Structure 1
Amino acid sequence: MTLKTLTAASAAQLDKDLMSESMGFSIDQLMELAGLSVASAVYKVHPPSLGTTILLACGPGNNGGDGLVAARHLYHFGYAPRVFYPKPTNQPIFGGLVKQLKALDIPFVDTDGFEAALGEADLVVDALFGFSFKPPVRKPFDTVIQQIIDSKKEVLSVDVPSCWHVEEGPPKQGDLGSQFKPSYLISLTAPKPCVEHFKGQRHFVGGRFLGKKFAEGYGLDVPEYKGVEQIAELQVGARVEKL
């Protein structure tokens, strides 16, 4: 099996094309579908019977927005999500997502309380940085990432494991994040080249909005989603092809 992967530039262009006048998607729609797929992946690898406390670490960009959406869906799936979102983005869509979570009494964790919340978590969702991440990792995220690594908790990373380069994979040995090895990964729209370095247990793709004709324009295959599933499982360790 060969995974067709999108570079950062191609992924950014694909999002732009989806939101063009001819395609008609909005960032709200794409984020909602992406976040739903993240929540679906959590349910697949860690159903509520295994523990309901899910800690979602959300960054300031769209990757963090996907995490905020996922938190709402997880609440309705029967989980007890907790959200770490230390650098809120000053845009209406993000403000709306935060209001939705607070209306459900979903607790927010600050930097000082992160380590304690981490200790109580049954699973961590890493939605800190996406495919546009560029080092260095700034505070408080440097400390948070190291705490996640040290905790040895199972982690589901969203699109790209935090600290990883979208194309080259984890940082070099000794640098922050070089030991960040999530158990699960959900790629959004399509895998990114860094999946070549992912050695975790399960890998999914989500974001069910590509039509066959549109996907072919990028050289992509539409994943084989089954029925109402929002995610499709991919082979860990498959050969990677960059598009």
Structure 2
Amino acid sequence: MRAFLSQKLAQQLDVELMQQPGFSLDQLMELAGLSVACALAAVWPIAARVLVLCGPGNNGGDGLVAARHLKHFGYEPTIVYPTTPKDTAGGRLYTNILEQCKNLDIPVVREPPREIQAQDFDVVLDAVFGFSFDASRGFRAPFDTVMQSLSSTEVPVASVDIPSGWHVEEGDKHGTGLSPAMLISLTAPKPCAKHFKGAHHFLGGRFLPPKMAEAYNLTGLPKFPGTEQIVRLDSSDTCT
């Protein structure tokens, strides 16, 4: 598999998905978040304690949806969501998902932890920054604390689409020190996946129409088996 999606093309594809087939943002977020939860469930046992770190953008929204599904699966998620959603259509979407999580009695906290310890959590879901974030400008509070905790923890980290702080094409270019154990690529792996050295790499986001996959040269992506929302990628899928 030699199908990678650059930052520019990934942004373009998201726009086209919401124009051509008519997906809404909440549809895409729901499918992405479900695949993230399924990937965690493929590796960590039910009832595992999952710390879900969510940023202010769509990556964070995927994390919120994943937390809800994980709770239904039987896991014990705790959400860290340091920002307040804006009073916009997109912001109200995040507010709604947060309320759904609270209605399931998922703890939602604003204050980022300064330390993430194995005595408290079994896995950390990194849904802080996605492919639109520019790490060259550094991390503003409170996400500077979030990134410090992520880079220093010994608890296994599972990153959504892009390990937070990584350059989309060049990996850990800015020296964030984040070395996730799992990467869940969405739609298609981004070029930084070539630098991923963790044990588990999955592809999720089962919503790409075949004609669009062909238009973006993504026909080399592996097929999702049966009713699965994820497919495991091996080293040959990320290092070519």
Residue 105 of structure 1: how far off its partner (Å)? 1.0
Structural mapping, 1:3-152, within 5 Å: 3-20=2-19, 22-48=20-46, 51-90=47-86, 91-111=91-111, 113=113, 115=115, 119-135=119-135, 136-152=138-154
Residue 215 of structure 1: how far off its partner (Å)? 0.6
> Is 1:156–1:182's contact at 8 Å kept on the other side of the alignment?
yes
| 2:226 is equivalent to residue 227 of structure 1 | yes
Residue 137 of structure 1: how far off its partner (Å)? 1.3
Residue 143 of structure 1: how far off its partner (Å)? 1.8
Q: Distance in 2 between matches of 1:47 and 1:116?
A: 19
Residue 142 of structure 1: how far off its partner (Å)? 1.7
Match of 1:155 among 151, 154, 157: 157
Between the aligned residues of both structures, percent identity stands at 51
Q: Distance in 1 between matches of 2:30 and 2:117?
A: 25
Structure 1, 192-201 or 111-120: larger mean CA deviation: 111-120
Q: Distance in 2 between matches of 1:171 and 1:141?
A: 18
Q: Distance in 1 between matches of 2:206 and 2:11?
A: 17
- Structure 1 letter corresponding to 2:151: I
Q: Secondary structure at the match of 1:106?
A: coil
- Structure 1 letter corresponding to 2:149: Q
Tell me the TM-score normalised to structure 2 length: 0.91
Q: Distance in 2 between matches of 1:92 and 1:77?
A: 25
Q: Distance in 1 between matches of 2:229 and 2:84?
A: 27
Residue 146 of structure 1: how far off its partner (Å)? 1.7
> Is 2:112–2:142's contact at 8 Å kept on the other side of the alignment?
no
Residue 138 of structure 1: how far off its partner (Å)? 1.3
Match of 1:180 among 175, 178, 181: 178
Residue 70 of structure 1: how far off its partner (Å)? 0.2
Residue 82 of structure 1: how far off its partner (Å)? 0.2
Deviations along 1:177-209, whole A, 9 cap, x unmatched? 1x2100000000000000111000011110000
Q: Distance in 2 between matches of 1:227 and 1:104?
A: 30
Match of 1:209 among 188, 207, 210: 207
Unaligned runs of 5+ in 1: none
Q: How many residues are paired up?
A: 233
Query: What is the CA RMSD across the aligned residues, in angstroms?
Result: 1.7
Q: Distance in 1 between matches of 2:112 and 2:61?
A: 22
Residue 148 of structure 1: how far off its partner (Å)? 2.3
Residue 4 of structure 1: how far off its partner (Å)? 1.0
